[in-house]
Amino acid sequence: MIEKVKYLSKEWRDEAERRLKTELPPERMNFVTSSMSNIYKNCPPDESEKYLYFKFEEGRFAELLIGTGESPKPEFAVTGDYQTFASITRGELNAQKALMTLKLKLKGNMVKALKLASLADRLNKVLATIPTAY
């Protein structure tokens, strides 16, 4: 078992990528082609802003980037507070509920986003298995 890695660090990203590639085969992702950026506000320790960018091509996990500044252009952008995303990643908060209660804001095609919500839940369940220090 790996020891805890710092949330949104390079080590966390590397472990997330490894798990997403092995635990989400194309058929579990309904062969979807899409991209999404989570925009984190108020990241500790300095209240900075970060992004987490996911890309799937025909259901295959293609890219995972973490950074500051401008995210690559996604099909969907979800913006929220660091603590909200941390609660989702820990499995304490459902992403759909966070959207409905305005803890998260979505930019992109809402109809398509609703169709992809179950896939986002699968992705978040995999991320919740990473031993993480927040």
Ordered by where they begin, the domains of the chain are: 5-127 (3.30.1050.10)
Cα separation, 116 vs 105, whole angstroms: 16
Q: Which SS3 state, helix, strand or coil, does residue 58 take?
A: coil
* Tokens, residue 85: 């995303």
Please count the other Cβ atoms lying within 10 Å of the Cβ belonging to residue 5: 18
What is the percentage of the chain residues whose pLDDT exceeds 90? 80
Mean pLDDT of the 63-76 span: 95
**Helix ranges (DSSP H) in the chain:** 10-23, 82-89, 95-100, 110-127
Q: What is the pLDDT of residues 73-131, one digit of tens each?
A: 999 999 999 999 999 998 899 888 998 899 999 999 888 888 888 888 899 999 999 99
